[in-house]
Structure 1
C-alpha cells in the first residue's frame, strides 16, 4: 500500500479563504482575471495589494490545497491524466506515425505551475533582447526584465560544499522568502560525478548559473521547490495567508469561461465575462476597469474566438459572429519537441526502484512525512546541458538559424537518474539513466482552432505540426548523437553505460529519423497563439501591443505564454512569471 496518510495532517490547517464556486449574479469588480494559473495568480495577487481595488479570479479547476500529488515534487507525473489536467491531446501528427501526443495543461489553481516538472529557467538573454527588438520596446531587454525575474524569486543557496562550487550566481537571483522558491537538487547525487565529468570530456563547457542569461553548456538544474514541497504561483501568490488578509480579492473555482462580451456602444470595449459556474448556471461578471485574459496558450485563443475575435473565415465556419477580424489569433503556435534515449547502468542508486517497488517508495514517503526531506523532495535530474549545432553545420546552407543568436541554445539535454521514456515501458528490472532531449529553437508554426463539432464548449483543436521542418529533424539528430558521445565518455565507463536502443541508427540519418518519429513527444512549452507585436503593427498581424493590450479593442489585456512572439529557448514557467510581474506593474501604474 502506498503511504500518504501523514500528508493530510501536515496540511490540515491550510485552507483557502475568500474562495468559492458560486458568486451572486452579475457582480462587478475593478479587475477580472480569467485563469488563475502561472500568470493569473500573480497578476491577481499584485493588483489586490491595493486594498481599494477589487479583483476576481475565475479559475476553471479546483483548489491546489491539501492535494498530495500537487505538493510532493517527485510524484508530479501523477497529475497528468488527472482532474488537475485539462487532458488535451494534439490532432494526429503525420510525422509522428499519426500519434496524437498528450498536451498537459493545469486545470487547477496555479495552472501548469501546479502540475509541471518544476524546472525553473528564464530563457537566454538573447531571447528577451529579440522580443525587445521585435516589439520596439526596450523594457523587454534582458537587463530590464531581470528585475521582474528577481521580484518573484526566493532563491535557496545550496550547501557551501565543493560539490556546489560555481553552481550559481547570486547577482541574477532574488531572495524574497515569500515568493517562488528556487532550489538546486541536494540528494542522491551519484549521477553528478559522471554527468559533469563526461561533459568536460566531450568538450561541453561549464556554466556557472543556468539562469544567468547565457545557458549554453552544462550547469546545475534549478527547480521551483521550497522546504521540500512544490512552490507554485498558487502556493506563493494565492495562499491562505494572502487570501485571508484581502477581502478585496475573490477566487472562483470550477468555473468555465465561455466568452467575453463587448459593452454596447460605438467603441469596442470588453468588460463582461460569461462563465458557467460549478452549479452549471451561466453567469456574467463585469469589470469596471479591465479584463485580463490569462487562460494559457491553448485556452486564451479559444476564448477570444468564442468572443468574436479571430480569423473571420474560421469564426464564420463555426457560426460565430465576427466582432473584429484578427487573423493572428490561434496561429503562430510554436513549441519544443522532446525525445528520451535510455542507457542501462550498473549503479544501484537510481530512482527506478522508487517507481516500481512500493516498499522503497513508502520508505521515502515516511521520511517526507516526518521532516520533508529525502528523494521525494526533488525530481530525478541534477544537471542540464544546453547546446548548439556547429556553426559550419550543413543545415545552414539551406536555412537561416532560427535562434535568437550565438549564445542561444538549439537543444536541451538533461540526464535523469532513472527510466523516463514516455513512449516505451520501463523494464521490471535493471537500473537506467535517460537523456531527455528537447529541440528548442524550432521554426515550426502550428495552430489552435475551435472544435467544429462543439465550438462553444469543446476542447481546442491543437495542431503543433511536430517535425514538419527539416531544422527540427536535423537538430534532434545532432542532439541524439551528442548524447551518445556523452555516455561513451570515460566518466561513464565506471557505470558501464550501455544504450538500450540500436546504436547503428546513429550512423544513418533515415534510420535515426524513423526512431525519432516513434519516440518524439510534445515539449508542452507552447507560445505565440496571441502574439505580441510593435505598437504600430496592424491589429490583424499581431494580437497584443507591448503593453499587453489587445489591439483594436479596449478594456482587455492578455498575459500568458500566448503573447510570446517566439518560442522560449528553455522552460516557459520562469518567463511567464516575469511577464506577470511586468504587466502587473503596467496596470498599477496606469499604463
Structure 2
C-alpha cells in the first residue's frame, strides 16, 4: 500500500502494538469469528529470530535490532547520565526481549489501583486473569493457574550462584520460599520464568502463534503507527507507515492502543489529547484537555550491580542467566518488602562502573533495586514530528527516600556475600571492591543506578484531574479509543511488569467482549 486515499481498509478492531498486551487482545478478540481484528507492530516478525528464543543470552538483545533504543533524559542526580530504557520492537514486544521473570508482587499492589481511583481494579478482580494466563508447572491452586497459554517454570538445575542466594538468605534468617507467586513474597526463591523446553515463551509465541490461522485476524509487522484518525469526537482509525508509504486503516468498533508506556501517551499527545499548554507549545491543536497524559511516570531503579570475583569458573549460563530472586524490607516497619535483588551469572555493571573497576573474566553479580520508589517523573513532547521520540524522565532519586533505600540495599548484598554459602563462591568483591558507607555508598548508587525497564503510569486509570482512562480503559472525552498496557497502571506494582500487563490485557479482552 502506497497511498492513503486509494487503500482505505476497515476492521472491527485495530490493535496498535504487538507487545505483551497487543498480542493477547488480538488473539482473544479474534476468538469471535464474527469480529475482524488487525494487529499493527512497528518491529519485525518474531519468526526465525533465534536470538529472541535463547533465554540465557537475553541481555544481548538490549540495545540491538529488536530494541526501540530509547533513553531516559540525562539526570543530574545520576552524575548527568542518560540511562537506556529498553523496549521491545518485535512481535511480542518487551515479552520478546525481557528477562522472562514471571512475578506479580503482592496483593496490596493491585488493591492500590482501586484506592487510587481505578474502580473495580484490585487483586481479587485480577487474580482470575493471572490464573487464566498461566500454565504453572506446579498445577492449579487458589493462586496459580494451569492449562493457560503461558508455560511458567522454575530452574530444574539452578546455577550455583542462584542456589547460593537461597543459602545465603537462609543464613541471614530470611525465608526461603517454594513459590515467589505464593501467599508470601518476602524472602528468597527460585525464579518463575516464562521458559519452556529451553525456549522463551513470549506473548507472540503463547497467544498469537496458535491464532495465526484465523481468517479474521490480520497481523502486519514493520508497520509504525504515526497518528490517530478522528471523525468528530470519535477515534475512527490510525495512520501507519509501512516503509512504502503512509496508509490509513479504519476501526469500525474500537481502536486499542497497546503501544506501551512511552508510545501510547506519545500518540495521544500527537493527536491533541493532553496538557493544552504543552500541546500549544508544539503547535498541536487541542482535541481533548487531559493534562495527565505523560504524567505519573514510574519505574523501578536498579543498581547494576554488585559484582564479585568467582573462586572458580562460572561455566555456561543457565536458565535466564540468573535463576533466583530475593525480596526484603529496607525498614522493618514497612508493611511489605520494597527491595528486590536477582543474581546475574556474569558481570553486571554500568559503563562508568566498568571503567573504574575490573569486572572482566569470572565475575558474577547480585543486583539490588527498589520496587517501591517514591520518585515520579513524566513524559513530554520534544516535537510534533512523530519520528522524534518524547522526552522521558523518571526523575530517579529526586525523592531522598529512594537513595536511602538503595544504600540500604547495597549493604544487604554485602551481608549476603559474607555468609558461608557465598564465601565458598566468592574470591573477593569486584565492583565495588569493598563494603561502602556514607558518601562513598551514595556515590556508587548514583554511578550504578539504571532501570529494571518497568516504566508505567503515563496514561493513568481513574477519574481524578490527572486520570487519562476510565475503569473500562476508555480514554476520557474520546469515543472508540482505549489504552491497554502498563501506561494505565495508576500505581506501579512491586514486581516485574510482564505478568501484571498480561493479566490486565486478559481482563481488558473480557471487558471489551462484555464478559464482565
Question: Structure 1-normalised TM-score?
Answer: 0.82
Out of 127, 133, 141, the residue aligned to residue 152 of structure 1 is: 133
- Residue in 2 that maps onto 1:160: none
Unaligned runs of 5+ in 2: none
- Residue in 1 that maps onto 2:400: 470
2:68 corresponds to 1:86? yes
1:541: how far off?
2.1
Q: Note if contact 2:3-2:247 (Cα within 8 Å) is conserved in structure 1.
A: no
Q: Residue 506 of structure 1 aligns to a residue in which SS?
A: coil
**Would the alpha carbon gap of residues 82 and 380 (structure 1) be closer, same or farther in structure 2, given more than 3 Å must change?**
closer
CA distance in 2, matches of 1:253, 1:503: 47
1:472: how far off?
1.0
2:227 corresponds to 1:259? yes
Q: Note if contact 1:198-1:491 (Cα within 8 Å) is conserved in structure 2.
A: yes
Alignment coverage as a number of residue pairs: 511
Unaligned runs of 5+ in 1: 1-19, 158-167, 355-374, 393-400
- Residue in 2 that maps onto 1:69: 51
- Residue in 2 that maps onto 1:119: 101
2:171 corresponds to 1:201? yes
2:471 corresponds to 1:511? no
Out of 207, 215, 224, the residue aligned to residue 237 of structure 1 is: 207
2:282 corresponds to 1:311? no
Please give the per-residue CA displacement for 1:165-214, whole angstroms capped at 9, x wherever unaligned.
Answer: xxx9844222226x112111123532344322211121212223111253
- Residue in 2 that maps onto 1:247: 215
- Residue in 2 that maps onto 1:445: 376
**Would the alpha carbon gap of residues 156 and 22 (structure 1) be closer, same or farther in structure 2, given more than 3 Å must change?**
farther
Q: How do 1:75-224 and structure 2 match up within 5 A?
A: 75-135=57-117, 137-138=119-120, 140-157=121-138, 170-176=141-147, 179-224=149-194
CA distance in 1, matches of 2:432, 2:58: 31
CA distance in 2, matches of 1:584, 1:217: 34
Q: Note if contact 1:48-1:249 (Cα within 8 Å) is conserved in structure 2.
A: yes
2:13 corresponds to 1:26? no
CA distance in 1, matches of 2:265, 2:39: 18
- Residue in 2 that maps onto 1:294: 258
Q: Residue 253 of structure 2 aligns to a residue in which SS?
A: strand
Q: Note if contact 1:76-1:115 (Cα within 8 Å) is conserved in structure 2.
A: yes
- Residue in 2 that maps onto 1:228: 198
- Residue in 1 that maps onto 2:476: 551
- Residue in 2 that maps onto 1:382: 323
CA distance in 2, matches of 1:133, 1:585: 22
CA distance in 2, matches of 1:277, 1:461: 25
2:287 corresponds to 1:346? no
Q: Note if contact 2:116-2:491 (Cα within 8 Å) is conserved in structure 1.
A: no
**Would the alpha carbon gap of residues 193 and 227 (structure 1) be closer, same or farther in structure 2, given more than 3 Å must change?**
closer
Q: Residue 500 of structure 1 aligns to a residue in which SS?
A: strand
2:213 corresponds to 1:272? no
1:123: how far off?
2.3
1:83: how far off?
2.0
2:507 corresponds to 1:578? no
Bigger shift: residues 413-422 or 511-520 = 413-422
Q: Residue 39 of structure 1 aligns to a residue in which SS?
A: helix
**Would the alpha carbon gap of residues 380 and 587 (structure 1) be closer, same or farther in structure 2, given more than 3 Å must change?**
same
1:419: how far off?
1.7
Q: Note if contact 2:72-2:85 (Cα within 8 Å) is conserved in structure 1.
A: yes
Q: Note if contact 2:241-2:247 (Cα within 8 Å) is conserved in structure 1.
A: yes
Choose 1 or 2 for highest CA Rg: 1
Q: Residue 440 of structure 2 aligns to a residue in which SS?
A: helix
CA distance in 2, matches of 1:171, 1:557: 31
- Residue in 1 that maps onto 2:362: 431
Question: Structure 2-normalised TM-score?
Answer: 0.94
Out of 284, 301, 324, the residue aligned to residue 337 of structure 1 is: 301
1:590: how far off?
7.0
- Residue in 2 that maps onto 1:52: 34
Q: Note if contact 2:140-2:146 (Cα within 8 Å) is conserved in structure 1.
A: no
1:135: how far off?
2.6
- Residue in 2 that maps onto 1:417: 345
Q: Residue 455 of structure 2 aligns to a residue in which SS?
A: coil
CA distance in 1, matches of 2:401, 2:428: 29
Q: CA RMSD in A?
A: 2.2
- Residue in 2 that maps onto 1:561: 486
CA distance in 1, matches of 2:510, 2:278: 35
1:455: how far off?
3.2
Out of 280, 286, 289, the residue aligned to residue 322 of structure 1 is: 286
Q: Note if contact 1:505-1:511 (Cα within 8 Å) is conserved in structure 2.
A: no
Q: Residue 212 of structure 2 aligns to a residue in which SS?
A: helix
